[in-house]
Structure formats: structure tokens, C-alpha cells
Amino acid sequence: MSYTAWIISIGNELLIGKTVNTNAAWLARKLTLLGYNVRRIITVPDAEEDVVEVFRDAVRRGVRVAISTGGLGPTFDDRTSEYLAKALGRKYVLNDEALRMVVETFKSRGLELTEPRLKQAKMPEGAKPLPNPVGTAPGIWVEEGNTIIIALPGVPAEMMSIFENYVEPKLREIGPRLHFVERSITVKGVPEADLAPIIERGMKMSGRVYIKSHPKGHEIRSPLVEIHVYASAEDARGAEDEVNRVINYLITAIRERGGEVLSG
Amino acid sequence: MSYTAWIISIGNELLIGKTVNTNAAWLARKLTLLGYNVRRIITVPDAEEDVVEVFRDAVRRGVRVAISTGGLGPTFDDRTSEYLAKALGRKYVLNDEALRMVVETFKSRGLELTEPRLKQAKMPEGAKPLPNPVGTAPGIWVEEGNTIIIALPGVPAEMMSIFENYVEPKLREIGPRLHFVERSITVKGVPEADLAPIIERGMKMSGRVYIKSHPKGHEIRSPLVEIHVYASAEDARGAEDEVNRVINYLITAIRERGGEVLSG
């Protein structure tokens, strides 16, 4: 069973550089900690052609989980739910359960049930609404073939609240039951290019540990490099031991090379 | 002539949620201001299959400009240049001009020209290196069919410096010569759903203005919504007038509806 995940970010504001995509980083972190292998983050505009295409791609390629953010609000271009129905070849219908959620939210606050609000209860046929503890638009959970598609609002507080309350527990249940383990060290005084052979030898010490260097300072004048070591494994303890073994090797080799290890 | 652009972000650190993709937002903003239509931001892991696929897709679909970040460093998984050569079906060769840049950088700093450093001078055949004023890895400019592919380092200071000095002037020259004009207002006291019909009428006032609302406060209890109005047009003055006309309409309609316009 493959546990690949895609994150689909919908919104012109991301493509014109008005907004930094913090939602995607947050979801990527969550999915990684749940043991999923996030293979793509794809940002598309609020346009039918693009949104339909990316959902279809995720299903066609058998991605296990595709999570989208954005396009569930009340305005004219919030049409993720409609495009998702189209991508799946399903009807776009008023969902009874979603309607109850939406009606309840508005009635309890004495707000009118206008057309833009009612729209938030329309979903692809067969979808399951996810309650929104913070806002009004329910999230959407729908399965097609091997793929679970989850559509969440773009407002970070709403996205996070639906995810933590109604998505995370389910994804943990059906998930790969892997543990993500990581450690970082920061190295001063050795250019990244001179760390490269050390890192390569560290990689060869373990089949499941990945090492990535992140230059922080000025490459030549005052090199400062973070080295991030991580692994996903069924047994957390074994993975931890392996990460530590690699980290210890790196620290020793870097000190021998004259580098200073600042943290770790 | 189409002026679509893709941003391709390469790096596992983005997919495990370790790093927020600020590079993509910065590039998206730059490209938008140059008049390009950024249609996709795609994040892929440091893996041959994924990097080759996304470069091939960009060329196959005739994207005008595809800019990648990441994978130009000295470590084992910095292989963007090699994968790009593969995607284009070209040889991966030592580039004379790049070699001169790399040798000069290292010699002037008294550093050895090691294998990981030499790798940074290898490029797809026919590519042009872009000088790196901050670090050691040159950027890459290569054209295939209708598509210009530009590969930049992932370290933000290096990416920005190469872009501003050697990419931006060229993209402006060959670009669509469009002006991007924008204005925002912030509205207090009206839920987004009640702004929806006003925004829709605003959209219909102009064929080239786009309006997007961004909820900031709590949707029901204390609604605070930013409304962003923008346009790309050949004549900056005309676009500005149109954006202002739409903004003025929105302000009037929102005040009539009892909303408070905080800024703009």
C-alpha cells in the first residue's frame, strides 16, 4: 500500500505572491508526522480548468490522500466543491448533513440563510461534510478509487481546526503507522561543499535515514550550515537510534575536519 | 503569445514541512509585477523521477518561463542540473563559462577546487550560466522550444541576487510589458458572505479587474475582511483608473450595507 499524499493549494493570491503558503507547510508537517509521504504541493488558480485537472491527476495517479485548501467560501470564485464534483464526474448536490451544519451555525447566530451561504452546503454526490468549529464552510471528505480527497477552507484557523478535529484522527487510523524522527545540528566554519563528502558517507550508513544540509550564513566568508537528519520508520526507537548513530558520526567527522558544532 | 509562468520548487524540506516556501511567493510576486501569468507553483522532492517529470511537463505545455529553485548545491542530492539535462534529452556537460565563474570564485578565496565544487559548473548542453553574486553555484538559463527554463539555487539570498541581476532584466525585455496595479481595503463588521454579492457586482464593472476577499477576523463574531482589487494591463494609467473605480464602488456599497472601511 502506498501512502503518498498531495497538497493542493487553490488561490490566485498565492500565484501573484500576495500570500506565502503557510497552509501547505503546516499540512506537510502534519502529514509527514502521520507517516505519509508528501510527494507534491501544487498551487493552482481559482479557475475551473486548473482545479479540475489537478484533482483528476491525483485520482488517476492513485495518490492515497489529496488535501486541498481554499475555494470553499461564499464569494463568486469559491468553487472548489463544484470543480471537485466535475473532476470526479459526480453530481454537485445539496448535502443534507452539510445543510444541517450550515443552518445550525447561522440560526444560532441569528444570520440569514442567503444564497452565498447555502452554496457552502453543496458538495459532490457521496461526499461527507466535515464540521467547521471556527467558521461556516464545512470541509469535504470524498473517496474515489484508491484516493481520499479532502477539501478544506483556505483560512488558516478554519483549515487547522477541521484538520485536527476531523481529519487527523482518521488519517492516523488508516495510515502507515510510521514514526517520523529527526535531529538537526548546526555547523560553523566549514563550507557546504566540504561537508558534502561527510554527508554522503553519513547517508551510506543507513538505508532509511535522509540527510539534508541547509546553508544559513554566507557560503564562503562565514559558512553556517544546518544539517537535518530524519527517518520514517515503523519502530520509533529503532529510527531514533539510527538517527543518533548518524548524527554522532557527523559530529565526529566535522570536528576532525576543524568545524564547530554549535547545537545538536 | 502566451506569458504563462511556472515556479518549480525542488526540495524535500518543503514536502516534510520543515521550510515554508517563501522563495515561491517572492518569485510569484516578481513575475506578476513583470506581467507574467503565474499558473502553477509545483513543489517536488529531490528525486530524479519527479524533477524530470515537472521540467518535461513545463516544456510540453509550452509554458513561457519555468523557474526552479533548489538542488544546485554541492551535496549528493543537489542534482537539478543533471535532471534538467535528462528532461531536455541533452548531454550534461562541463560548461566553460560556468567553469570560469566557479574557478574564479574559489581561487579568489583560496579554496580548493574539489569534486563537489566542480559539479556546480556542469550543465545541460547549450545552457547559459548566470553569475551568482552571493554564493558559488551559478544559475542556469536554457531554452527549449517556446520555453525558457531558469534554475536558481534554493538559498534565498543567492536566488534573489541572481534573479534581480541577471533574470529580471531579460524577462522584462522579452515580457508582456504589462503593468500590475492593485489596491486593498479592509472591511469591519460585514461577514464575507454578505460581501459576496457586492464583490460580484464589482467584478462585473470591469473586464480586467479581479477582486478577491481574504477573511482575517472571526467570520461570525467579529468579521474583518481584506478586499484585494487588482489588474494587469498594458496601460498603467487606465488600469489604475479602473481599479480605483471598482474600489470606490465597493466602499460606497459596503458603507450603505453598514460596514466600516478601515483602510484604502
SS3 at position B74: coil
Contact yes or no for A38 and B19 at CB 8 A: no
Q: Which residue has the higher pLDDT, A222 or B146?
A: B146
A19 contacts on B by Cβ (under 8 Å): 25, 214
Contact yes or no for B26 and A32 at CB 8 A: no
Contact B176, A41 (CB under 8 A): no
Contact yes or no for A17 and B39 at CB 8 A: no
pLDDT band, very low/low/confident/very high, at B79 (cuts 50, 70, 90): very high
Residue A39 C-alpha cell reads as 510527494
The interface pTM score, or ipTM, of the predicted complex is 0.95
User: What is the amino acid identity at position A83?
Assistant: Y
Q: Which residue has the higher pLDDT, A1 or A225?
A: A225
What is the residue-averaged pLDDT of chain B? 94
Q: What is the mean pLDDT of residues A189-218?
A: 91
SS3 at position B225: strand
The DSSP result for A142-197, as a single string, is EEETTEEEEEE-SSHHHHHHHIIIIIHHHHHHHS---EEEEEEEEEESS-HHHHHH
A215 contacts on B by Cβ (under 8 Å): 73, 135, 155
Contact B106, B117 (CB under 8 A): yes
Q: Which residue has the higher pLDDT, A264 or B156?
A: B156
> What's the predicted TM-score (pTM) here?
0.95
Smallest CA–CA distance from B115 into chain A, residue: A193
Q: Which of A219, A227, A229, A232 to mutate to test the interface with B (most CBs of B within 10 A)?
A: A219
Contact yes or no for B19 and A12 at CB 8 A: no
Smallest CA–CA distance from A32 into chain B, residue: B16
How close, in Å, is residue A38 to chain B by CA atoms?
6
pLDDT band, very low/low/confident/very high, at A115 (cuts 50, 70, 90): confident
Q: Which of B2, B19, B43 to mutate to test the interface with A (most CBs of A within 10 A)?
A: B43
Contact A6, A53 (CB under 8 A): no
pLDDT digits (tens, 9 = 90+) for A18-52: 999 999 999 999 999 999 999 999 999 999 999 99
pLDDT at A1: 61
How close, in Å, is residue A59 to chain B by CA atoms?
17
Distance, CA of B172 to CA of A156 (rounded, Å):
35
Percent of chain B topping pLDDT 90: 81
Contact yes or no for B50 and A39 at CB 8 A: yes
Of B25, B45, B105, which has the smallest distance from its Cβ to A17's Cβ?
B25
Q: Which of A113, A192, A216, A226 to mutate to test the interface with B (most CBs of B within 10 A)?
A: A192
pLDDT at B220: 66
Contact yes or no for A200 and B75 at CB 8 A: yes
Of B15, B116, B215, which has the smallest distance from its Cβ to A41's Cβ?
B15
Q: What is the mean pLDDT of residues B117-143?
A: 95
Domains parsed from chain A with CATH numbers: 4-174 (3.40.980.10), 179-263 (3.30.70.380)
Q: Which of A123-132, A157-166, A189-198, B120-129 has the lowest mean pLDDT?
A: A189-198
pLDDT digits (tens, 9 = 90+) for B65-76: 999 999 999 999
pLDDT digits (tens, 9 = 90+) for B214-235: 998 676 678 899 999 999 888 9
Backbone angles phi and psi of A198, in degrees to 5: -65, -45
